[in-house]
Amino acid sequence: MRLKEDLENTAFSVFESRRPLLTHLNADTSWVLTLPYPPNVNPPLGRALFNILIDPWLQGPQTDYFSWFSKQWHVIPSSVQTIAELNACLRTRESLIRSRYASSDGPINTASNSLEDSESNFIDLVVISHEFTDHCNRKTLREISSSTPVLATKAAARLISSWRHFQHVQSMAAFSNEKPAWKDTSIDGIPPWLRVARIISNKDAMFLHSAILITFDIVSSTEDASVEGLVYTPHGIDADHLKSLSLASPRINILALLHGLHDIRISKRQLNLGAHNALRAQRISGSRYWVSTHDEVKKAGGLVNHFLRRKIWTIEDVLKEEKRKKAKLDVGSPLADMQDVHFANLASGESLLLQ
Protein backbone atom coordinates (compact mmCIF):
# COMPACT_ATOMS: atom_id res chain seq x y z
CA MET A 1 0.00 0.00 0.00
CA ARG A 2 1.19 3.50 -0.80
CA LEU A 3 0.49 6.70 1.12
CA LYS A 4 -0.98 8.90 -1.61
CA GLU A 5 -2.14 6.37 -4.20
CA ASP A 6 -3.95 4.04 -1.75
CA LEU A 7 -5.55 6.45 0.71
CA GLU A 8 -8.93 4.72 0.56
CA ASN A 9 -7.43 1.27 0.98
CA THR A 10 -5.23 2.26 3.92
CA ALA A 11 -8.00 4.20 5.64
CA PHE A 12 -10.48 1.35 5.52
CA SER A 13 -7.85 -1.30 6.33
CA VAL A 14 -6.78 0.43 9.54
CA PHE A 15 -10.33 1.19 10.66
CA GLU A 16 -11.82 -2.21 9.89
CA SER A 17 -8.91 -4.31 11.15
CA ARG A 18 -8.24 -2.15 14.23
CA ARG A 19 -4.52 -2.61 13.54
CA PRO A 20 -1.61 -0.12 13.39
CA LEU A 21 -0.32 1.19 10.07
CA LEU A 22 3.34 2.07 9.53
CA THR A 23 4.16 4.45 6.66
CA HIS A 24 7.64 5.26 5.34
CA LEU A 25 7.66 8.92 4.32
CA ASN A 26 11.05 8.79 2.64
CA ALA A 27 13.70 6.20 1.78
CA ASP A 28 15.57 7.00 4.98
CA THR A 29 14.11 7.18 8.48
CA SER A 30 10.98 9.38 8.57
CA TRP A 31 7.81 7.54 9.56
CA VAL A 32 4.16 7.89 10.46
CA LEU A 33 2.68 5.37 12.88
CA THR A 34 -1.11 5.45 12.62
CA LEU A 35 -3.12 3.90 15.46
CA PRO A 36 -6.88 3.40 15.57
CA TYR A 37 -8.36 4.84 18.73
CA PRO A 38 -9.18 2.15 21.33
CA PRO A 39 -12.85 1.06 21.36
CA ASN A 40 -13.36 2.36 24.91
CA VAL A 41 -12.05 5.85 24.05
CA ASN A 42 -14.08 8.72 22.67
CA PRO A 43 -11.86 10.31 19.96
CA PRO A 44 -11.71 14.03 19.18
CA LEU A 45 -14.41 15.39 16.90
CA GLY A 46 -14.44 13.73 13.49
CA ARG A 47 -11.42 11.54 14.24
CA ALA A 48 -10.86 7.77 14.17
CA LEU A 49 -7.06 7.60 13.89
CA PHE A 50 -4.11 8.87 15.95
CA ASN A 51 -1.01 9.81 13.93
CA ILE A 52 2.53 9.80 15.34
CA LEU A 53 5.18 11.49 13.17
CA ILE A 54 8.71 10.15 13.75
CA ASP A 55 11.98 11.89 12.78
CA PRO A 56 10.61 13.95 9.86
CA TRP A 57 13.07 15.21 7.24
CA LEU A 58 11.24 15.71 3.96
CA GLN A 59 13.43 17.80 1.67
CA GLY A 60 16.49 19.99 1.40
CA PRO A 61 19.95 19.24 2.78
CA GLN A 62 20.80 18.28 6.33
CA THR A 63 24.01 19.52 7.90
CA ASP A 64 25.78 18.29 11.02
CA TYR A 65 27.73 21.11 12.69
CA PHE A 66 29.11 22.73 9.48
CA SER A 67 28.49 22.10 5.78
CA TRP A 68 32.20 21.52 5.22
CA PHE A 69 32.07 18.83 7.91
CA SER A 70 28.97 16.87 6.88
CA LYS A 71 26.13 17.61 4.48
CA GLN A 72 23.62 15.20 2.92
CA TRP A 73 20.66 15.23 0.54
CA HIS A 74 17.97 12.67 -0.20
CA VAL A 75 18.59 10.78 -3.45
CA ILE A 76 15.05 9.38 -3.55
CA PRO A 77 12.37 12.08 -3.18
CA SER A 78 10.17 11.92 -0.10
CA SER A 79 6.64 10.70 -0.77
CA VAL A 80 5.36 14.06 0.46
CA GLN A 81 7.42 17.20 0.07
CA THR A 82 5.81 19.29 2.82
CA ILE A 83 4.00 18.80 6.10
CA ALA A 84 0.95 20.45 4.50
CA GLU A 85 0.93 17.69 1.87
CA LEU A 86 1.20 15.01 4.56
CA ASN A 87 -1.54 16.66 6.58
CA ALA A 88 -3.81 16.68 3.50
CA CYS A 89 -3.33 12.91 3.12
CA LEU A 90 -4.17 12.30 6.78
CA ARG A 91 -7.22 14.58 6.50
CA THR A 92 -8.44 12.66 3.44
CA ARG A 93 -8.15 9.36 5.32
CA GLU A 94 -10.36 10.68 8.08
CA SER A 95 -12.90 12.04 5.61
CA LEU A 96 -13.09 8.67 3.84
CA ILE A 97 -13.64 6.83 7.10
CA ARG A 98 -16.21 9.35 8.23
CA SER A 99 -18.12 9.12 4.95
CA ARG A 100 -18.36 5.33 5.01
CA TYR A 101 -18.79 4.65 8.73
CA ALA A 102 -20.65 7.70 10.01
CA SER A 103 -23.69 5.58 10.87
CA SER A 104 -21.70 2.69 12.42
CA ASP A 105 -21.08 2.00 16.08
CA GLY A 106 -17.30 1.99 15.60
CA PRO A 107 -14.85 4.18 17.52
CA ILE A 108 -15.28 7.38 15.55
CA ASN A 109 -16.70 10.66 16.75
CA THR A 110 -19.12 11.66 13.98
CA ALA A 111 -20.01 15.03 15.39
CA SER A 112 -19.46 17.83 12.91
CA ASN A 113 -16.14 19.63 12.89
CA SER A 114 -13.95 21.47 10.40
CA LEU A 115 -12.40 18.41 8.76
CA GLU A 116 -12.23 20.21 5.44
CA ASP A 117 -10.44 23.20 6.96
CA SER A 118 -6.92 23.23 5.50
CA GLU A 119 -5.66 24.56 8.84
CA SER A 120 -6.83 21.48 10.77
CA ASN A 121 -3.93 19.47 12.17
CA PHE A 122 -3.95 15.68 11.85
CA ILE A 123 -0.48 15.08 13.27
CA ASP A 124 -1.19 14.23 16.90
CA LEU A 125 2.32 13.67 18.24
CA VAL A 126 5.91 14.17 17.04
CA VAL A 127 8.67 11.83 18.29
CA ILE A 128 12.35 12.68 17.78
CA SER A 129 15.05 10.06 18.41
CA HIS A 130 18.24 12.13 18.03
CA GLU A 131 19.36 15.75 17.86
CA PHE A 132 21.12 15.27 14.50
CA THR A 133 19.47 17.09 11.62
CA ASP A 134 18.54 13.98 9.62
CA HIS A 135 16.30 13.11 12.60
CA CYS A 136 15.59 16.56 14.03
CA ASN A 137 15.26 18.71 10.94
CA ARG A 138 14.41 22.31 11.76
CA LYS A 139 12.98 23.20 8.35
CA THR A 140 10.54 20.27 8.34
CA LEU A 141 9.63 20.49 12.01
CA ARG A 142 8.79 24.19 11.83
CA GLU A 143 6.15 23.39 9.20
CA ILE A 144 4.19 21.46 11.85
CA SER A 145 1.46 23.18 13.85
CA SER A 146 2.95 24.76 16.98
CA SER A 147 0.21 23.16 19.09
CA THR A 148 1.42 19.63 18.28
CA PRO A 149 3.11 17.99 21.31
CA VAL A 150 6.71 16.91 20.79
CA LEU A 151 8.50 14.11 22.65
CA ALA A 152 12.24 14.01 22.14
CA THR A 153 15.51 12.91 23.66
CA LYS A 154 16.99 15.41 26.13
CA ALA A 155 19.47 16.91 23.65
CA ALA A 156 16.85 17.12 20.90
CA ALA A 157 14.26 18.62 23.28
CA ARG A 158 16.69 21.38 24.27
CA LEU A 159 17.42 22.14 20.63
CA ILE A 160 13.75 22.19 19.58
CA SER A 161 12.79 24.35 22.57
CA SER A 162 15.42 26.91 21.54
CA TRP A 163 13.51 27.54 18.31
CA ARG A 164 10.49 28.81 20.30
CA HIS A 165 8.07 27.28 17.81
CA PHE A 166 6.29 24.45 19.64
CA GLN A 167 4.16 25.09 22.70
CA HIS A 168 4.77 21.66 24.27
CA VAL A 169 8.21 20.02 24.07
CA GLN A 170 9.10 17.33 26.59
CA SER A 171 11.94 14.85 26.97
CA MET A 172 10.89 11.21 27.15
CA ALA A 173 11.34 9.03 30.21
CA ALA A 174 13.73 6.06 30.39
CA PHE A 175 12.82 2.38 30.20
CA SER A 176 15.36 -0.12 31.55
CA ASN A 177 15.96 -3.12 33.81
CA GLU A 178 15.80 -0.72 36.74
CA LYS A 179 12.62 0.93 35.43
CA PRO A 180 10.53 -1.85 33.82
CA ALA A 181 7.13 -0.38 34.75
CA TRP A 182 6.37 1.23 31.39
CA LYS A 183 3.18 2.85 32.70
CA ASP A 184 5.37 5.10 34.83
CA THR A 185 6.56 6.78 31.64
CA SER A 186 3.29 8.69 31.25
CA ILE A 187 3.64 12.29 30.09
CA ASP A 188 1.15 15.15 30.31
CA GLY A 189 -0.86 15.68 27.13
CA ILE A 190 -0.35 12.14 25.80
CA PRO A 191 -3.37 9.77 25.80
CA PRO A 192 -3.31 7.30 28.74
CA TRP A 193 -3.40 4.32 26.35
CA LEU A 194 -0.09 5.44 24.76
CA ARG A 195 3.44 5.63 26.15
CA VAL A 196 6.78 6.70 24.64
CA ALA A 197 10.09 5.96 26.38
CA ARG A 198 13.79 5.66 25.56
CA ILE A 199 16.07 2.65 26.00
CA ILE A 200 19.71 3.70 26.39
CA SER A 201 23.11 2.36 27.33
CA ASN A 202 25.09 4.40 29.83
CA LYS A 203 28.25 3.15 28.11
CA ASP A 204 27.28 5.10 24.96
CA ALA A 205 28.29 8.67 25.78
CA MET A 206 26.33 10.26 22.89
CA PHE A 207 23.43 7.78 23.17
CA LEU A 208 23.78 7.18 19.44
CA HIS A 209 22.92 3.51 19.89
CA SER A 210 19.64 3.90 21.70
CA ALA A 211 16.02 3.05 20.95
CA ILE A 212 12.56 4.57 21.22
CA LEU A 213 9.88 2.33 22.72
CA ILE A 214 6.30 3.20 21.74
CA THR A 215 3.68 1.17 23.59
CA PHE A 216 -0.07 1.27 23.00
CA ASP A 217 -3.22 -0.50 24.10
CA ILE A 218 -5.70 -0.28 21.21
CA VAL A 219 -7.48 -3.55 21.99
CA SER A 220 -7.99 -4.15 25.71
CA SER A 221 -9.63 -2.08 28.40
CA THR A 222 -8.21 -4.19 31.24
CA GLU A 223 -5.82 -2.30 33.49
CA ASP A 224 -3.21 -5.06 33.80
CA ALA A 225 -3.52 -6.53 30.31
CA SER A 226 -0.46 -6.81 28.10
CA VAL A 227 0.00 -4.16 25.43
CA GLU A 228 1.69 -3.95 22.04
CA GLY A 229 4.82 -2.01 21.28
CA LEU A 230 7.21 -0.84 18.60
CA VAL A 231 10.98 -0.46 18.98
CA TYR A 232 12.53 2.22 16.76
CA THR A 233 16.34 2.27 16.66
CA PRO A 234 17.63 4.01 13.52
CA HIS A 235 21.32 3.56 14.39
CA GLY A 236 20.78 0.26 16.15
CA ILE A 237 21.05 -0.57 19.85
CA ASP A 238 23.19 -3.26 21.44
CA ALA A 239 20.74 -6.15 21.25
CA ASP A 240 21.41 -7.15 24.86
CA HIS A 241 19.84 -3.90 26.06
CA LEU A 242 16.49 -5.13 24.73
CA LYS A 243 16.45 -7.92 27.31
CA SER A 244 14.83 -5.39 29.64
CA LEU A 245 11.67 -5.74 27.55
CA SER A 246 11.08 -9.20 29.04
CA LEU A 247 10.84 -7.57 32.48
CA ALA A 248 8.15 -5.10 31.42
CA SER A 249 5.14 -4.89 33.71
CA PRO A 250 2.48 -5.24 32.42
CA ARG A 251 3.92 -7.32 29.60
CA ILE A 252 4.71 -5.74 26.21
CA ASN A 253 4.26 -7.73 23.01
CA ILE A 254 6.73 -6.18 20.58
CA LEU A 255 4.98 -5.90 17.26
CA ALA A 256 7.76 -4.35 15.18
CA LEU A 257 11.47 -3.59 15.33
CA LEU A 258 12.69 -0.75 13.10
CA HIS A 259 16.42 -1.31 12.60
CA GLY A 260 18.63 -0.85 9.54
CA LEU A 261 20.44 -3.43 7.44
CA HIS A 262 23.54 -1.43 6.57
CA ASP A 263 26.71 -1.56 8.65
CA ILE A 264 28.08 2.01 8.65
CA ARG A 265 31.20 3.35 10.33
CA ILE A 266 33.60 6.29 10.30
CA SER A 267 37.10 4.95 10.74
CA LYS A 268 36.75 2.68 13.79
CA ARG A 269 33.58 4.32 15.16
CA GLN A 270 30.42 2.37 14.47
CA LEU A 271 27.50 4.55 13.38
CA ASN A 272 24.83 2.06 12.28
CA LEU A 273 25.10 -1.41 13.81
CA GLY A 274 23.71 -3.24 10.80
CA ALA A 275 21.90 -6.44 9.93
CA HIS A 276 23.56 -8.94 12.25
CA ASN A 277 22.80 -6.84 15.30
CA ALA A 278 19.27 -6.28 14.00
CA LEU A 279 18.66 -9.99 13.62
CA ARG A 280 19.82 -10.63 17.17
CA ALA A 281 17.68 -7.73 18.41
CA GLN A 282 14.69 -9.24 16.64
CA ARG A 283 15.26 -12.57 18.40
CA ILE A 284 15.68 -10.99 21.82
CA SER A 285 12.71 -8.62 21.50
CA GLY A 286 10.52 -11.30 19.92
CA SER A 287 9.18 -8.76 17.45
CA ARG A 288 6.74 -10.01 14.85
CA TYR A 289 8.18 -7.70 12.18
CA TRP A 290 11.64 -6.39 11.39
CA VAL A 291 11.36 -3.25 9.25
CA SER A 292 14.53 -1.72 7.85
CA THR A 293 15.22 1.97 8.42
CA HIS A 294 17.95 4.61 7.92
CA ASP A 295 19.42 2.72 4.95
CA GLU A 296 19.10 5.34 2.21
CA VAL A 297 22.42 5.85 0.42
CA LYS A 298 22.25 9.63 0.33
CA LYS A 299 24.18 12.16 -1.72
CA ALA A 300 26.88 13.32 0.66
CA GLY A 301 29.51 15.99 0.90
CA GLY A 302 31.91 17.35 3.48
CA LEU A 303 34.89 15.95 5.32
CA VAL A 304 33.02 13.09 6.99
CA ASN A 305 32.03 11.59 3.65
CA HIS A 306 35.68 10.74 2.88
CA PHE A 307 35.91 8.53 5.97
CA LEU A 308 32.46 6.94 5.76
CA ARG A 309 32.40 3.18 5.15
CA ARG A 310 29.18 1.33 4.37
CA LYS A 311 28.65 -2.44 4.19
CA ILE A 312 25.33 -3.11 2.46
CA TRP A 313 23.62 -6.26 3.62
CA THR A 314 20.49 -7.88 2.18
CA ILE A 315 18.16 -9.95 4.30
CA GLU A 316 19.03 -13.00 2.19
CA ASP A 317 22.77 -12.56 2.81
CA VAL A 318 22.48 -12.09 6.56
CA LEU A 319 20.17 -15.09 6.97
CA LYS A 320 22.50 -17.22 4.84
CA GLU A 321 25.45 -16.27 7.02
CA GLU A 322 23.49 -16.92 10.19
CA LYS A 323 22.60 -20.40 8.98
CA ARG A 324 26.22 -21.02 8.08
CA LYS A 325 27.29 -20.09 11.61
CA LYS A 326 24.44 -21.89 13.33
CA ALA A 327 26.57 -24.86 14.31
CA LYS A 328 28.88 -22.54 16.24
CA LEU A 329 26.09 -21.02 18.35
CA ASP A 330 25.79 -22.00 21.98
CA VAL A 331 22.69 -23.90 23.03
CA GLY A 332 20.19 -21.37 24.33
CA SER A 333 21.60 -18.53 22.27
CA PRO A 334 18.90 -16.09 21.15
CA LEU A 335 19.95 -16.87 17.58
CA ALA A 336 19.79 -20.65 17.98
CA ASP A 337 16.11 -20.82 17.08
CA MET A 338 15.93 -20.35 13.31
CA GLN A 339 12.40 -19.04 13.38
CA ASP A 340 11.13 -17.13 10.36
CA VAL A 341 11.74 -13.40 10.30
CA HIS A 342 8.90 -11.22 9.03
CA PHE A 343 11.03 -8.68 7.20
CA ALA A 344 9.86 -5.58 5.34
CA ASN A 345 11.91 -3.07 3.36
CA LEU A 346 9.45 -0.28 2.64
CA ALA A 347 10.18 2.17 -0.16
CA SER A 348 9.39 5.86 0.10
CA GLY A 349 5.63 6.24 0.49
CA GLU A 350 4.91 2.56 1.20
CA SER A 351 2.78 1.42 4.15
CA LEU A 352 2.58 -1.80 6.13
CA LEU A 353 -0.43 -2.93 8.16
CA LEU A 354 0.94 -4.55 11.32
CA GLN A 355 -1.24 -7.60 11.88
Q: At CA 294, angle to CA 202 and CA 185, rounded to 5? A: 45
Q: Which has the closest alpha carbon to 193: 160, 162, 228, 163?
A: 228
Residue 336: what pLDDT?
Answer: 47
pLDDT greater at residue 249 or residue 107: 249
pLDDT greater at residue 17 or residue 330: 17
Query: Which residues lie below 8 Å from residue 164, measured CB to CB, with a gap of 6+?
Result: none
Residue 182: what pLDDT?
Answer: 66
Name 230's bridge partners: 214, 256
Average pLDDT over residues 310-332: 77
- Rounded Cα distance between 291 and 316, Å, is 14
Q: Which has the closest alpha carbon to 355: 232, 219, 222, 196?
A: 219
- Rounded Cα distance between 211 and 176, Å, is 11
Residue type, 218: I
DSSP secondary structure code for residue 170 in this structure: E
Q: Which range, of 250-259, 288-297, 323-332, 338-347, averages the lowest pLDDT?
A: 323-332
* Residue 168, pLDDT above cutoff 50: yes
- Report how far Cα 124 is from the mean position of its chain's Cα atoms: 14
Give residue-wise pLDDT tens across range 218-263.
986 566 567 999 999 999 999 999 999 998 888 899 999 999 999 9
Alpha helices in the chain (DSSP H): 7-17, 83-101, 138-141, 154-162, 274-285, 315-325
Residue 102: what pLDDT?
Answer: 73
Q: Name the pLDDT band for 177 (thresholds 50, 70, 90).
A: low
CA distances from 64 to 67, 124, 127 (A): 7, 28, 20
Q: Which has the closest alpha carbon to 283: 328, 231, 320?
A: 231
Residue 185: what pLDDT?
Answer: 67
What 3-state DSSP class applies to 90?
helix
Give residue-wise pLDDT tens across range 115-124.
555 568 999 9
* pTM of the predicted model as reported, rounded to 2 decimal places: 0.91
Q: Name the pLDDT band for 306 (thresholds 50, 70, 90).
A: confident
Average pLDDT over residues 80-89: 97
